[in-house]
Amino acid sequence: MLAVGIGLLAGATGAAFAAGAEEPALQFYNSPAVAAAKPPFSQAVRVGDVVYLSGSIGIVPGTRQLAPGGIDAEARQTMENIGAVLKANGLSFGDVFKCTAMLADMSNWEAFNKVYVTYFEPGRLPARSAFGASALALGAQLELECWAYAGKR
């Protein structure tokens, strides 16, 4: 799995690594669709055995539109967006060990949690912090960033 993650990150950044070559200290990842939009950030950055995912909101892939249907739909789309970045890097929600949630309205905390927990195995929930935010990008109700372990398996 380690080689898959390195290959995907390398392919996404245009870097190529020869077998046995020392891997770079930092590896950056953006999906082709996100890279085409030229955001001022990377979707993920790998440093050693950890992949740091940027905050994700519930936008429908290929658009700048939030998933319609309120906090439940935004939460589900946010988790799907994170899942896509994890998968592209050879990882899954089972590799996530830390998340930070930002909610535009803390009264949505319970509704967010109902969706969030369905993406993890029972008893294997990541460490997490949650903060209230006065505003999030594109008017989102939720932003979630995660850290995932990508070490040797």
Domains of the chain: 2-149 (3.30.1330.40)
pLDDT of residue 21: 52
Contacts of 10 (CB under 8 A, 6+ apart): 16, 17, 27
- Prediction pTM value: 0.82
Reported as a single tens digit per residue, the pLDDT across 70-83 is 999 999 999 999 99
pLDDT of residue 122: 93
Mean pLDDT of 97-112: 98
pLDDT of residue 28: 85
pLDDT band at 17 (very low <50, low <70, confident <90, very high): very low
Query: Exposed (0-12), middle (13-18) or buried (19+): which is 27, by Cβ within 10 Å?
Result: buried
The angle that helices 70-88 and 109-116 make with each other, rounded to 10 degrees, is: 40
